């Protein structure tokens, strides 16, 4: 039956199928498993899928598509499961069948050496795991440690609510791999696959979380230096005068830039560490551990060894964030002081400009008065010459009287003319000023 529904969202099917994309392998004891987690650059992604395709074709199996992010198949001598994640790529190689020592005869031993040598990336986790049937290992943990773990102290517990026993020493051995031994007592194949995947994820996410620890240790001295600089600057601010404020603001700006640069470069690493640590805690909870007398559980070991490192990273991250906020507050305070100083300077400048404008206006009025007097003097003089000429021509005029009578008229005309010119100048300046 079909229904006339609107078109699917472009991401509906990919998102729906994502929950089924990477199911754990169904594992049947006895078997050996080798696990690799490689951190690789984005430029190496094409090479990774090309190598997986090459391996599948070498054993006559259908290769994954070029854009695949995961792949699993039985290649005959071994099974492979390959998964690409955001920051790393992981490989599982599984060799089924009985064995004497899973670490002397690891699953990775059956892979083509040239193919292994061509893998790209940097190893962050490498582990061998043996899955045995109940009763295949010595009952005493000390004998197990001597036989499989070089006599090292074991960490382990009953897992899956007593369905299996998982043991490790959390050490990297001479071959570059850590070791896990799991004795299956009553787990189904799917349960065994999920349990082993959790153990490998605990190993991987534990290491990925710890990548933040060197960053935190390296950042510590810089934070101490920056905090000292901030103390010096804020102490100087308390007694600073106006001339010191620009220099202090420049020092604060440089300090803020250094801290923000550090925040940008470490934010991802610290955030990822918190996320990986939460995954480790979640996977340990999913083990459903039961104590084995005399052994630390996975939870106890993690709390004692990983938790302090994560607390250090969180403290350094919080310290860095707090320092950034303190510098921002100091910068804001000093900027406010600088702004107030600038406002005072601008106010003084405006007052000075007003005084100059008033002086200029008075000077202009004085000049205008002198101009009217000068114009009147010269025009009246011209009128006097004209009156003298008319008198010489026979007209009965007294040049002195004519000049005297013309003075008020000429002065008034000159004053009106100067005022008119001033108004025209103001009208021409008005659009530019507006």
- Nearest C-alpha neighbor of 114 from the set 161, 71, 58: 58
Whether the predicted pLDDT of 434 surpasses 50: no
pLDDT band at 431 (very low <50, low <70, confident <90, very high): low
What per-residue confidence (pLDDT) applies to 429?
A: 65
Stretch 80-109: mean pLDDT: 93
Stretch 57-84: mean pLDDT: 93
Whether the predicted pLDDT of 16 surpasses 90: no
In three-state secondary structure terms, 372 is: helix
Alpha carbons 206 and 215: distance in angstroms, whole number: 16
- Nearest C-alpha neighbor of 247 from the set 257, 238, 236, 256: 236
DSSP annotation of 100 reads S
Alpha carbons 365 and 390: distance in angstroms, whole number: 37
* The model's pTM: 0.76
Stretch 320-344: mean pLDDT: 82
Whether the predicted pLDDT of 432 surpasses 60: no
Question: How many CB atoms within 10 Å of residue 282?
Answer: 13
Give CA 318 to chain center in angstroms. 14
Stretch 119-146: mean pLDDT: 89
Most confident of 13-22, 66-75, 235-244: 66-75
Q: Which residue has the tokens 């074991």?
A: 154
pLDDT band at 1 (very low <50, low <70, confident <90, very high): low
pLDDT band at 433 (very low <50, low <70, confident <90, very high): very low
pLDDT band at 22 (very low <50, low <70, confident <90, very high): low
Rounded (10°) CA dihedral 408, 409, 411, 417:
160
Angle, alpha carbons 426-427-431 (nearest 5°) = 105
More confident residue, 78 or 138: 78
More confident residue, 79 or 350: 79
Lowest-confidence region among 93-97, 135-139, 200-204, 251-255: 135-139
Quote the mean pLDDT of the chain.
87
SS3 for 258-324, per residue?
HHHHHHHHHHHHHHHHHHHHHHHHHHHHHHCCECCCCCECHHHHHHHHHHHHHHHHHHHHHHHHHHH
What per-residue confidence (pLDDT) applies to 314?
A: 95
What per-residue confidence (pLDDT) applies to 321?
A: 93
């Amino acid at each position: 039956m079909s229904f006339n529904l609107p078109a699917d969202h472009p991401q509906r099917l990919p998102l729906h199928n994502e929950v089924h994309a990477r199911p754990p392998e169904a594992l049947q004891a006895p078997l050996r498993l080798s696990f690799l987690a490689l951190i690789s650059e984005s430029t190496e992604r094409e090479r990774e899928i090309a190598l997986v395709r090459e391996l599948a074709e070498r054993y006559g199996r259908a290769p994954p598509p070029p854009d695949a992010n995961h792949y699993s198949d039985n290649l005959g001598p071994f099974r492979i499961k390959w998964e690409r994640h955001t920051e790393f790529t992981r490989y599982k190689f599984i060799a089924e069948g009985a064995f004497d020592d899973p670490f002397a005869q690891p699953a990775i031993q059956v892979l083509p050496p040239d193919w292994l040598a061509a893998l790209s990336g940097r190893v962050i986790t490498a582990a061998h795991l043996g899955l045995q049937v109940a009763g295949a290992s010595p009952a005493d943990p000390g004998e197990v440690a001597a036989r499989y773990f070089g006599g090292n102290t074991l960490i382990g517990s009953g897992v899956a609510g007593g369905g299996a026993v998982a043991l490790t020493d959390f050490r990297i051995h001479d071959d570059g791999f850590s070791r896990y031994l799991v004795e299956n007592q009553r787990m189904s194949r799917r349960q065994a696959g999920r349990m082993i995947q959790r153990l490998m994820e605990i190993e991987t996410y534990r290491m990925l979380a710890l990548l933040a620890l060197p960053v935190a240790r390296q950042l510590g001295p810089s934070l101490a230096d920056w905090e000292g600089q901030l103390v010096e600057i804020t102490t100087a601010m308390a007694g600073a005068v106006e001339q010191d404020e620009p220099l202090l603001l420049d020092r604060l700006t440089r300090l803020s830039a250094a801290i923000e640069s550090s925040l940008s470069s470490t934010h991802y690493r610290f955030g990822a560490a918190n996320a990986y640590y939460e995954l480790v805690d979640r996977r340990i909870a999913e083990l459903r551990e039961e104590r084995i007398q005399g052994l630390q559980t996975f939870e106890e070991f993690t709390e004692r060894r990983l938790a302090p490192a994560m607390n250090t990273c969180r403290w350094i991250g919080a310290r860095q964030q707090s320092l950034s906020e303190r510098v921002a507050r100091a910068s804001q305070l000093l900027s406010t002081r600088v702004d107030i100083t600038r406002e005072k300077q601008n106010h003084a400048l405006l007052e000075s400009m007003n005084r100059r404008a008033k002086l200029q206006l008075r000077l202009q009025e004085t000049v205008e008065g002198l101009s009217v007097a000068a114009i009147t003097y010269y025009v009246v003089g011209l009128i006097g010459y004209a009156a003298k000429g008319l008198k010489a021509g026979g007209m009965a005029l007294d040049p002195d009287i004519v000049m005297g009578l013309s003075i008020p008229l000429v002065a008034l005309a000159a004053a009106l003319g100067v005022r008119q010119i001033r108004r025209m100048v103001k009208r021409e300046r008005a659009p530019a000023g507006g």
